[in-house]
Structure 1
Amino acid sequence: MDLFENLLIIFALIGISCFFSMSEISFAAARKMRLGLMEEEGDPRAAKVLQLQEQPGNFFTVVQIGLNAVAILGGVVGEASLTPYFQAALMDLVPAAYVDKLSFLLSFTLVTTLFILVADLMPKRVAMAIPEQVAVVLVGPMMACITLLKPVVWFINTLADGIMNLLRVPTVRNDEITSDDIYAVMNAGAEAGVLDKGEHEMMENVFEMQSIPVTAAMTSREGIVYFSTTDSFDEIKRKIGDEPHSKFLVCDGPLDNIKGFVDAKELLLRLINGETLDLTDPKVLHSCPVIPDTLNLVEAMEFFKHQRSDFGVVMNEYALVVGIVTSNDLQSAVMGTWALHDVEEQIVARDSHSWLVDGVTPITDAMRAFDITAFPESENYETVAGFVMYKLRKIPKRTDFVMHAGYKFEVVDIDAFRVDQLLVTKLDGSEKPQPLLAPAAE
């Protein structure tokens, strides 16, 4: 054969190697979600790619057979076909003793470079850039190769499976999607600019809702304005004027003895129409849904959906009211507005290294505000005050403090055994190590 025929054979082998290289990378890198969308859009080739991904053993065996066979054959053909031409070219340029060795080296270098560059690197880069598009184009020829080489594939796969089982190495890929995978995709989207900051935060809030208790979004007991069945007409008007809420609890004496709730609009209409105002009137008083304080935000949303309500009282296991929550509170939790609102009111910066923090501030808010990854054993408390009390193992007093994550949480105000306010100070690296907690001297 002349030089042209030899080069034609070499480039044919390079083309075959290119096919197997692109197939290997594209089938491995093709994303199942993208292929699923392509299948739903009417591309039957995507279904075949998914089928090969579910049972990749035969596919990878054919790829390795093809790549290794072509590489060996290319080396043999290339060395035998190109070496004579290099010998003829070098005969008058180098000493005769070095002609054969140098010709072989040049032939080997040329063929290897062509295979690495054209048959390996370039096709793999293309397949990595657009794996789904390449995979659906090559799936037909690849399935034909699998069928053609079925006996050889079966023999090699049987040997490989036996060795893998002997070594107890798993051979099935785990394709389960975890929450960490979803977070990684969202973070990658945010870094790439596909998601803006607000969308990224909202999606994170959605996934965090299962771990955030309903108490983090509620109005705490101390902030509840309610009517008593014994309140006078003037007292009711004063409360509505001072705290213009849409709904008010009605209690028979103390807050924990709830009779229901009234709608401020209905009260206003009665006042305009000159009707008598009786808080115990069934036409005005509505039954109040009760939500356990153990629910998370997702469960609270489901509760509102089933109860067809947008307002509920949060109670603990002792039937004591710990707060009230509305559907707007839960929706704001998803949008992230509730965190901004509460942080502005409950966490006030004194300077760049210290903050005054309300004792009822939810732990989740403190984590966001101070960029703290986690609080220890956080299932045992819900607020910053609860964290300090849990770590001190006693009712805190003024100047008691707890150290955590490079911050000092110091009690600065106590109101009837309740931690009303704390001073949170960020410690710089020059400060001496402190114990985890230190109660004040008696």
Structure 2
Amino acid sequence: MSLFEAILIITALILTSAVISSAEISLAGARKLKLQVLANEGNEKAKQILALQASPGRFITFVQIGLNMVAILSGVIGESAITPYLKEILVKYTQASWIYPLSSWLSFTFVTVAFILFADLIPKRFALTNPEKVALKTVGIMRFNIMLFKPLVWLFDSTANAIFKLFKISIERKNDLTSEDIVALMDAGAEAGVLKAQEHYLIENIFDMQERTVTSTMTTRENIVFLDRSFKKERVLEIIEKNPHQKLLICDKSIDKILGYVETHNLLTCYMQDDKVSLTDTSLLRKALFIPDTLSLFEVLELFKSAGKDFAVIVNEYALVVGIVTLKDVMSIVMGELVSNEEEQIVRRDENSWLIDGATPLEDVMRALNIDEFPDEENYETIGGFMMYILRKIPKKTDFVLHDKYKFEIIDTENFKIDQLLVSFRKDIQ
């Protein structure tokens, strides 16, 4: 074999190896979501790639067979054709005994460098940059060769499967997409500018609904405005004037004995027609929706949808009322200030400090202050609950807790409840 023929064959082998290497990386790295979109649009090659990804055994087997065959063949050709040529050149300068070993090493180095650079490094880097594009171009070639070498592929694949089975190792590829995966994709999209800040905010809040319980956004028991069934018109009008809510609970002497609720505008309309209106009149009183305090906000939203309600009473395991929640409360977690006109619970005073309402949900504080976690956070839901849990006592003004890089100091309390906190950066770690 002449030198020209050897170089020509090695070049062909490098190209073959480059195709196999790029196909290996691209088919393994092609994003399933993007391929699924193409498959749904009728792209047959995308469907073929998804099939190979679902059962990668045959594909990986052929890749290893192909790469090893090409590598061995190139070594043989390099040794038989290039080494003698290099030896002839070196003989002109010296007759030393080490000429042949040196020629062999030079031949090996030439072939190895050529393969590393042109058959491995460059194709794989290109395939990593454009996985779907390269996969669509090479999937047909790979499927043809898998069929061509089917006996060998079957033999090696079956042997490998038997070994995995012997050691009880699962070889099933799991493509389950978790919420953490989607959040990571979403963060990457926001950093790349694909997602707008508002879109990122809305999607992140939707995932929060799965994690946050209904108690994180409810109106707490002590803040519930209700009417007793025995209240007269003057008392009812006085309460409505001070608390202009759309709906009011009707109770029997206690907040834990709820009879139902009334629409305020219906009640006022009835008072305009008749001074003596019974708060338990069936034309006024509506049946309240009761939900447990363990539900997530997403589950509450589903209940509102199925029940056709936008208002619910929250009860705990002892059947005691702990709060109420409206559809607006739930949606405010997703839409934020777009649907909520209430006073902000977290107010930034300056670059180093914040004023935070004690009833602020822990998730909101973590997001605002960029805190990854709180200690034993499953035991409380608000920043006030965090303070009480850490202090292990009824809180009072000036009590403080150090956590992460912040100092959480109580600046106002009301009836044993933490009303407001001052959060500032810790001086000891600045």
CA-to-partner distance for each residue in 1:304-356, whole Å, 9 max, x for gaps? 122110111222334433222111211121223389866x5434455544444
The residue that corresponds to 1:436 in the other structure is: none
Secondary structure of 1:429's counterpart equals helix
The residue that corresponds to 2:384 in the other structure is: 385
- Residues 63-212 of structure 1: matches in 2 within 5 Å? 63-83=63-83, 85-86=85-86, 94-95=93-94, 97=96, 104=104, 107-161=107-161, 163-164=163-164, 170-212=170-212
- Residues 148-297 of structure 1: matches in 2 within 5 Å? 148-161=148-161, 163-164=163-164, 170-270=170-270, 274-276=273-275, 278=277, 279-297=279-297
1:127/1:134 contact within 8 Å kept? yes
The residue that corresponds to 1:420 in the other structure is: 419
The residue that corresponds to 1:359 in the other structure is: 358
The answer for unaligned runs of 5 or more in structure 2 is none
Shift of 1:297: 0.4
Shift of 1:159: 4.4
Secondary structure of 1:210's counterpart equals helix
One-letter code aligned to 2:26: S
Shift of 1:200: 1.6
CA–CA separation in structure 2 for the residues paired with 1:388 and 1:78 = 74
User: CA distance change for structure 1 residues 425 and 386 in 2, over 3 Å: closer, same or farther?
Assistant: same
CA–CA separation in structure 2 for the residues paired with 1:69 and 1:190 = 45
Shift of 1:71: 1.5
The residue that corresponds to 1:376 in the other structure is: 375
CA–CA separation in structure 1 for the residues paired with 2:311 and 2:422 = 34
Secondary structure of 2:227's counterpart equals strand
- TM-score of the superposed pair, with normalisation by structure 2: 0.85
CA-to-partner distance for each residue in 1:110-168, whole Å, 9 max, x for gaps? 43333233322232223222323332333333233223323333443454445555666
RMSD: 3.3
User: CA distance change for structure 1 residues 239 and 14 in 2, over 3 Å: closer, same or farther?
Assistant: same
One-letter code aligned to 1:136: L
CA–CA separation in structure 2 for the residues paired with 1:141 and 1:45 = 11
CA–CA separation in structure 2 for the residues paired with 1:20 and 1:354 = 58
The answer for unaligned runs of 5 or more in structure 1 is 432-442
- Residues 289-328 of structure 1: matches in 2 within 5 Å? 289-328=289-328
User: CA distance change for structure 1 residues 421 and 114 in 2, over 3 Å: closer, same or farther?
Assistant: closer
2:20/2:66 contact within 8 Å kept? yes
One-letter code aligned to 1:372: I
CA–CA separation in structure 2 for the residues paired with 1:243 and 1:157 = 74
CA–CA separation in structure 2 for the residues paired with 1:56 and 1:307 = 47
Instruction: Give the stretch that moved more between structures: 282-291 or 159-168.
Output: 159-168
One-letter code aligned to 2:382: T
- Residues 47-62 of structure 1: matches in 2 within 5 Å? 47-62=47-62
CA–CA separation in structure 2 for the residues paired with 1:122 and 1:421 = 60
User: CA distance change for structure 1 residues 18 and 251 in 2, over 3 Å: closer, same or farther?
Assistant: same
Instruction: Give the stretch that moved more between structures: 199-208 or 251-260.
Output: 251-260
Instruction: Give the stretch that moved more between structures: 114-123 or 191-200.
Output: 114-123
Instruction: Give the stretch that moved more between structures: 419-428 or 291-300.
Output: 419-428
CA-to-partner distance for each residue in 1:354-377, whole Å, 9 max, x for gaps? 444433333233323333322333
- TM-score of the superposed pair, with normalisation by structure 1: 0.83
CA-to-partner distance for each residue in 1:23-59, whole Å, 9 max, x for gaps? 2112211222222222222223333322322332222
Instruction: Give the stretch that moved more between structures: 135-144 or 181-190.
Output: 135-144
CA–CA separation in structure 1 for the residues paired with 2:36 and 2:254 = 59
Identity of aligned residues (%): 49
CA–CA separation in structure 2 for the residues paired with 1:413 and 1:284 = 41
CA-to-partner distance for each residue in 1:156-191, whole Å, 9 max, x for gaps? 345444555566655443333333222221221111
The residue that corresponds to 1:35 in the other structure is: 35
User: CA distance change for structure 1 residues 111 and 402 in 2, over 3 Å: closer, same or farther?
Assistant: closer
User: CA distance change for structure 1 residues 117 and 349 in 2, over 3 Å: closer, same or farther?
Assistant: closer
User: CA distance change for structure 1 residues 18 and 346 in 2, over 3 Å: closer, same or farther?
Assistant: closer
2:315/2:322 contact within 8 Å kept? yes
One-letter code aligned to 2:81: S
2:328/2:339 contact within 8 Å kept? no
Instruction: Give the stretch that moved more between structures: 199-208 or 29-38.
Output: 29-38
User: CA distance change for structure 1 residues 100 and 394 in 2, over 3 Å: closer, same or farther?
Assistant: closer
Secondary structure of 2:202's counterpart equals helix
One-letter code aligned to 1:427: R
CA–CA separation in structure 2 for the residues paired with 1:340 and 1:113 = 65
CA–CA separation in structure 1 for the residues paired with 2:355 and 2:49 = 58
Instruction: Give the stretch that moved more between structures: 158-167 or 59-68.
Output: 158-167
